[in-house]
A and B are shown apart, each in its own frame.
Chain A
Amino acid sequence: MTDDNFEPNIIAFTCTWCGYPSANLAGVNKIDYPANVKIIRVMCSGSVDPAVVMQALERGADGIIIIGCLIDNCHYVEGNKNAEERADRLKRLLNVLGLDSKRIRTEWINASERVKFANAMREFVDEIRELGPAPHIPAPKRKELTSEEIKKEISRIIEDTGAFDCVECGKCTSVCPVARFDTEFAPRTIVLRSMEGITDNLANDKDIWTCSTCEMCNSMCPYKVNYSGFIQGLRGTAMQLSNSPVCSQGGLIQSAIRIMAGADLKQNRLDWVTEDLEIAEKGDVFYFVGCLPHFDAIFADREYLELTRTAQSAVKLMNAAGIKPAVSNEERCCGHDLVWSGDEENFLKLMDKNLELVKNSGAKKVVFTCPECIRTFEMDYKDFAEDIDFEIVHISDLLVQLIDEGKLSLPSMADEIIATYHDSCRLGRHMGIYDSPRSLIESAGMKLVEMENTREKSACCGVSAWLSCNSAAMRMQLERLEEAKKTGAEVMLTFCPKCRIHLSCAANEELPFDRERVNIITKDLTVALAELLEGK
């Protein structure tokens, strides 16, 4: 590292039974170890939430060391094993992010092993000193808003989103999937409060985070109020008032995304690229992969989701049609989850980086598999940035076009599969893409059976932007799975990786009813199509 004076900031999480006593004993015995280490005592190494580790790295720590009892000697039997497993997943994530997996370390030390403790600290500090500082992200700046300014800001949001036209008819609440299960939540009353100038509650209004931004209400509102836009606006303002959301995964994912908004990172986003895939550095067509590699690391315990296979499949399909797409290791998260969590500042940083990247690639067309990424480019980027002159296409539209032009042909399936298709809210209601996925399913020779709520009426997976994952969301997910199961389909196809993550989450819970009711495989449609090429 170039900076010779760099002194790393190290956080050590020590368990109360072995880790902490060993540190204590090192002190009592006057055994030296570097002052860089700040010790935080926890009951068990297994109680260290990965989100806390991530947040520490985001906000100033350069290395994290977790110290627990010797394996098989955990006071809580398996706590340290859990910690180990989590640390492994975090390391994978750090690796993708380009933070270097060495920044996280686990050590299993007996209460009496004071020397081992001191040595471990010394070694770790040296190692991190060698690595240099982690790219810290300052906490978002808060403007000090006066109540007049808040009022003004809310008026602007009301104007911009057409909420001014709201007649308080309540259709939004009657169709809102969240309101159905969470009786405290009523979208109409949020508009009503804002319209009546009741703004003092914005600083602690939890309702604005409860909305899943599924746009069911947008599609129903007789006065075309852009309700999701209204919520997005309020969230941005609420953040200024330090009203922040409760994030699922403890905010781990938001932290990771914010890290992507920061400094130069030596990311490893392209590990999924296998030799058989033809990709380019520059070219007419850019494939924006999104955060599949990150989710693959975070949800490594659900290997069956095979998230990065989506990216591989997309490239395979494009290759089959003679397209060699550009993909980039420098890509950043599109920022969807930040803009919907009210963090406009970091969102804009991500946007600038991605737009610059696309520009430098010379692409005329950017292809997306992720419904959230395409929505973010098509709507949010276009909202915030002016010079977007490339075409934004979803893989489903692209494939349909390629098939129509005779450039791609999908071999038909040997045995006809019965499939149902889940319109994710982003691809469906937000983007209006309903037909291409269906036509692909049919050209692949599958038999498509529709769920009760489909297309514009499609039920949402319940969670968006990793917010408000709660019992209402869980019930929405189970209901959706049940709907899919009822069609008699063997598989539920979709394009949204997050829908699959959320739905798998619900299906893995302990259920008060027979699991068979919701037991259906979900599969990415891109993957299903690429499998045809492979003759599966």
Chain B
Amino acid sequence: MKENVVVIGAGIAGIQASLDLADMGFSVHLIEKTPSIGGHMAQLDKTFPTNDCSMCILSPKMIMCAEHENITLHTYSEVDSIAGDFPRFKVGIREKARYIDLNRCTGCGDCVAKCPSKVPSEFEEGLSIRKAIYLPFPQAVPRKMTIDAENCRKIKDNKCGVCLKVCQAGAVDYDQKGRIVELDAAVIVIATGFDLMDATALPQFGYGICKDVVSSMQFERILSASGPTGGHLVRPSDDKEPVNLAFVQCVGSRDAKNHLYCSSVCCMYATKESILATEHAPDVKITIFYMDMRAVGKGFQEFVQRAKKSHGVRYVRSRPAKVQQANGDNGVLVSYETPGMTGEPVSEEYDMLILCPALLPSSSTREIAKMLDMELDDDGFFRTPDIRYPTDSSKKGILICGFSGAPMDIPDSVSQASGVAARTAELLSGGDR
């Protein structure tokens, strides 16, 4: 067996890097802080520009990860410490207590049905609820339950204890403790991905103020057949099918007061979500308020063209400055300036508004950078200073792939991940120029 490689973050980039590295014979430890691997891609309904089913691509890779003999999953785990230098790092992994014996839990779900404690589901972006004992989503890997201690009545108040009673497999263990696993690693791969900017910080867009303003990730879930509405396009305020939808691009990105960089994927996913919406509800009319249409990539411009021509999507080059509640509780009033030389301020009513917030380097990115005393650039991404080795960080033997290095879409993240695997082999074979 070859050396150990630790991969931090099990989104699509971390998964792909792990698979490639494992296939090359490295012993991979994949660390994921949530209960399941999969990352944001698992939340997506389709991928652009082909509208392929996201989960159909991702799910097999997730299962391969779980089954690969060279991959050890550390889910619900966080990096506790990193010390040493290339090629002898020491990594401490904190495996949090999930109060479930993973060897016993069969994933039957009896416990979930009985658990009385309801919490907004992270995976469904708060649009539906989960229980305190839960599987984050049906295709989760590992397909084992987790008890979230903060909301469990037994762990918090010593009250309920129902799941222990219903579990036939005897998997529930309220006294389980977390543990630290110490590992040697030759190379560390960071793939900590992104977080969505919290749009409540920009009250002008009405998020958290008007019921029918949702984030693009929430909308992705609304469109998903496995999502909270079973794939029915409905708006939050009254569960009615909206007729007039609008998207606002660059919410907090390309904004010198928030995040100056372009999040790079929003133009395309908004286009994708628009096409999907018209497929779900053919009468729906869609407006996208954008700044510049950033359709750089194979088939991207054609995708936008298709949205315009075949799906009647209206693209308006303007940035709304105010979103208010329309008359009554439903819908919103969007104020913007008509583009062109005459420029008139207008207000239009929409049944529902979808915000495309800035995608930020995830909070884990900052934590890991602090732990390693590594430099981030002005925008908070890992620095990759050497243009010849785009996945090399500022520290030797620590490699970056996916969104934690720069805003990028799925195909780019995947190719960077494979690049990381190749770069690992190169470094460890002494072939470093």
- Cβ contacts under 8 Å, A224 to chain B: 256-257
Is the C-beta of A300 less than 8 angstroms from some C-beta in chain B? no
How far, in angstroms, from A186 to B321 measured CA to CA in the complex? Answer: 14
By the criterion CB–CB under 8 Å, are B343 and A222 in contact?
no
Chain B proximity of A513: nearest CB distance (Å): 21
By the criterion CB–CB under 8 Å, are B343 and A167 in contact?
no
- Cβ contacts under 8 Å, B342 to chain A: 186, 189
Is the C-beta of B292 less than 8 angstroms from some C-beta in chain A? yes
By the criterion CB–CB under 8 Å, are B322 and A174 in contact?
yes
- Cβ contacts under 8 Å, B322 to chain A: 174-175
By the criterion CB–CB under 8 Å, are B254 and A173 in contact?
no
Interface residues of B in 284-340 (CB under 8 A from A): 291-292, 317-322, 335-339
By the criterion CB–CB under 8 Å, are B345 and A180 in contact?
yes
By the criterion CB–CB under 8 Å, are B345 and A189 in contact?
no
Chain B proximity of A456: nearest CB distance (Å): 11
- Residue of B317, B336, B345 with highest tally of chain A CB at under 10 A: B345
Contacts known (A167-B291, A167-B292, A224-B257); A186 close to B319, Cβ less than 8 A: no
What is the number of residues of chain B that contact chain A, defined by CB distance less than 8 Å?
A: 25
Interface residues of A in 154-211 (CB under 8 A from B): 165, 167-176, 179-180, 183, 186, 188-189, 192
- Cβ contacts under 8 Å, A189 to chain B: 341-343
- Cβ contacts under 8 Å, A165 to chain B: 256
Q: How large is the interface on A (under 10, 10 to 19, 20 to 34, 35 or more residues)?
A: 20 to 34
How far, in angstroms, from A168 to B338 measured CA to CA in the complex? Answer: 11
Interface of A is mostly: helix
Which one of A167, A174, A222, A223 lies within 8 Å of B337 (CB-CB)? A174
Closest to A178 in B: B345
How far, in angstroms, from A88 to B337 measured CA to CA in the complex? Answer: 48
Which one of A170, A179, A188, A222 lies within 8 Å of B256 (CB-CB)? A222
- Cβ contacts under 8 Å, B317 to chain A: 168
Which one of B258, B319, B341 lies within 8 Å of A169 (CB-CB)? B319
How far, in angstroms, from A180 to B322 measured CA to CA in the complex? Answer: 13
Is the C-beta of A220 less than 8 angstroms from some C-beta in chain B? yes
- Cβ contacts under 8 Å, B321 to chain A: 170-172, 174-175, 220
Is the C-beta of B367 less than 8 angstroms from some C-beta in chain A? no
How far, in angstroms, from A236 to B339 measured CA to CA in the complex? Answer: 28
How far, in angstroms, from A279 to B319 measured CA to CA in the complex? Answer: 53
Interface of B is mostly: loop
How far, in angstroms, from A459 to B257 measured CA to CA in the complex? Answer: 22
Contacts known (A169-B319, A170-B343, A176-B345); A186 close to B337, Cβ less than 8 A: yes
- Cβ contacts under 8 Å, A167 to chain B: 254, 291-292
Is the C-beta of B255 less than 8 angstroms from some C-beta in chain A? yes
- Cβ contacts under 8 Å, A220 to chain B: 204, 321
Closest to B318 in A: A170
How far, in angstroms, from A188 to B317 measured CA to CA in the complex? Answer: 13
Closest to A171 in B: B321
Closest to A167 in B: B291
By the criterion CB–CB under 8 Å, are A223 and B344 in contact?
no
By the criterion CB–CB under 8 Å, are A174 and B257 in contact?
no
By the criterion CB–CB under 8 Å, are B345 and A222 in contact?
no
By the criterion CB–CB under 8 Å, are B345 and A174 in contact?
yes
- Cβ contacts under 8 Å, B258 to chain A: 222
- Cβ contacts under 8 Å, B336 to chain A: 170, 174
Q: Other CB < 8 Å A-B pairs besides A171-B337, A180-B345, A220-B321, 5 of them?
A: A169-B250, A173-B343, A186-B342, A192-B341, A222-B255
Q: What would 26 A/B residue contacts be, using CB atoms closer than 8 Å? A: A167-B254, A169-B291, A170-B319, A170-B337, A170-B338, A170-B339, A171-B337, A173-B337, A173-B343, A173-B344, A174-B319, A174-B320, A174-B321, A174-B335, A174-B336, A175-B321, A179-B344, A183-B344, A183-B345, A186-B337, A188-B343, A189-B341, A220-B204, A220-B321, A222-B255, A222-B319
Chain A residues within CB distance 8 Å of chain B: 165, 167-176, 179-180, 183, 186, 188-189, 192, 220, 222-224
